[in-house]
Amino acid sequence: MANETPDWVGAAHVALNKAVLGPRTEHRGRVEEIGDGVAMISGLRNVCLDEVLRFEGGQVGFARVLDPDMIGCVFLDAATDVEAGDAVFGTGEVVSVPVGERLLGRIVDPLGRPLDGRGAIKTGPHMPIEQPAPSITERDLVTDPVQTGIVVVDTLFALGRGQRELIVGDHSTGKTTLAIDTMIAQAQSDMICIYVAIGQKTSSVRRAIDALQSLGNFARCIVIVAGSAEAPGLQWIAPYAGMTMAEYFRDKGQHVLIVIDDLSKHAATHREIALLTRQSPGREAYPGDVFYVHARLLERAAKLSQARGGGSLTALPIAETVSGNLSAYIPTNLISITDGQIVLDSALFHQGQKPAVDIGLSVSRVGGKTQAPVLRKAAGSLRLDYAQFLELEVFTRFGGMPDSHVREQLTRGARIRQALRQPQHMPYRLADEIALMLAVQNGLLDPLPLAAVARFRTALPGALDNDAADALRRLAETGKLDETGRAALMKTLTRLAGSLAGDTGGANAPPEGETGP
């Protein structure tokens, strides 16, 4: 599979393998050095940046560095059979990938070659992986929400269609799970989802694919895999290929969500290629253009104006930190490029607070403009109440008996924290989130033991379906919660809370490492 030449390359080079009468022009060079997926080539003076080069053995690569006397070429295939002195041909083409509906429901590599064992994908239109970002006049305001199904995100850091929101945190803190859950939540929406795995372990990619196939609408998903064992060139082009595939649907007026997992590994690949092609290293040995590499990629995510069809492309890039250091080079760059960040904290993760979102460091710079009005009204002052609780909790750990008002704040805050927990791969509906926020803000959870709050949260969707079906239907149809619907929800919530008021679940200690009243 790795040595299979893409259709668009083979078609462009029939003339190279055909004997024809008469003179013809041939851009030909030779390999001077080769190693680690990079070849240094001489003799190709008319090559353009990112032009596809074809080797005499059929392998392909693209020109990444243009020096006066030498071309730095990055392989898109295994280079085991290429040797110094081999001929190299310029093609006049840039790297292109197939786009279109035929890719939906498939697992492919960054060149569009199938990896799922379901046979070849019928050749469709091809588009270059490098596309200009929409201009300011072609963009529209980001006002429509992306319902992630994750309570802590939808209530505190709402996302909008066309937004770029960074997911950042240490290794194994739930970054990929957060993104996959967002994709699963789009199973009933009109959004097409694209997952780009860059340098990830095969087992991690397999788990993500299994979750999408079993819980999401995989027929409206595309998975692009450039594993850690693949050629550096494939890993480098992967996010650009994903963006091009997404832009095809966006330009048709559709809505797309793309997850790039992750840009830290992409930056490491870019650094590796830069050092092998003898570019000057800068901070942390990254080349000077690493900011531009990611900026021009993420700027392609946008909500288009009605004149351009009104489609949207929402990006959720992922970045990994070391020891929570957000001031490292790549996380700093990505935070400055994106429209906000969701920060996952390893300490919260190990305490059992999942998703382990740090509400103090996380922010959505679009936020309230895209949040569903009915959810914003139900959540009320949730973020302020929770932030105050976290500060009070730190002070009360030093001892002393707080007054009754502080005890009430601590009790409410502990219930908010428990309500914001959520099992993986179980996104909530908008109605479930609204009902949960009503229960929190109206103090219905305050009398419950902490162990019972988790059971309340688990039982909530079923109780709403059984006892408040009419209210849910009107909410889905109108997007509003009238007084009748609110009364029906409150009646259901009160009944459910009352049934759990004396339920400790046989455990006196708070669940999952919880500390607090």
pLDDT digit string (tens) for 93-118? 999 999 999 999 999 999 999 999 89
- Active-site residues, by number, are 365
User: Across the strands, what pairs with 126?
Assistant: 98
Closest by CA to 251, choosing from 308, 305, 192, 315, is: 308
User: Which one-letter DSSP state was computed for residue 357?
Assistant: B
Q: Tell me whether residue 327 is in a domain.
A: yes
What are the tokens at 9?
A: 């390359």
User: Which one-letter DSSP state was computed for residue 168?
Assistant: E
Q: Is the pLDDT of residue 515 over 50?
A: no
Residues 267, 323 within the same domain: yes
- Dihedral angle over CA of 45, 47, 49, 52, nearest 10: -140
- Within a 10 A sphere around the Cβ of 174, how many other Cβ atoms? 20
The pLDDT of 235-262, averaged and rounded, is 95
Residues 43, 173 within the same domain: no
* Residue span of the structural domain in which 37 resides: 7-96
Residues 325, 395 within the same domain: no
Strands of 51-105 (E only): list them: 51-55, 60-66, 71-75, 87-94, 96-98
Q: Tell me whether residue 468 is in a domain.
A: yes
pLDDT digit string (tens) for 147-195? 999 999 999 999 999 999 999 999 999 999 999 999 999 998 999 999 9
CATH of the domain at 418: 1.20.150.20
Q: Tell me whether residue 155 is in a domain.
A: no
Residues 88, 189 within the same domain: no
Check residue 225 and give its pLDDT: 96
Q: Tell me whether residue 262 is in a domain.
A: yes
Q: Is the pLDDT of residue 312 over 90?
A: yes
Pairwise CA distance, residues 287 & 272, whole Å: 10
Closest by CA to 202, choosing from 182, 174, 181, 230, is: 230
Residues 423, 316 within the same domain: no
Residues 186, 335 within the same domain: yes
Check residue 504 and give its pLDDT: 53
Residues 341, 380 within the same domain: no
Residues 313, 387 within the same domain: no
Instruction: Characterize the bridge pairing of strands 312-320 and 255-261.
Output: parallel
Least confident of 7-16, 135-144, 455-464: 7-16
Residues 176, 325 within the same domain: yes
Q: Tell me whether residue 177 is in a domain.
A: yes
Q: Is the pLDDT of residue 396 over 50?
A: yes
Q: Tell me whether residue 128 is in a domain.
A: no
Closest by CA to 58, choosing from 40, 74, 36, 82, is: 82
Residues 395, 482 within the same domain: yes
Pairwise CA distance, residues 156 & 58, whole Å: 52
The pLDDT of 364-381, averaged and rounded, is 85
Residues 418, 325 within the same domain: no
Q: Tell me whether residue 58 is in a domain.
A: yes
Residues 80, 109 within the same domain: no
CATH of the domain at 88: 2.40.30.20
What's the structural domain count of the chain? 3
User: Across the strands, what pairs with 160?
Assistant: 145
The pLDDT of 355-365, averaged and rounded, is 92
Pairwise CA distance, residues 509 & 497, whole Å: 20
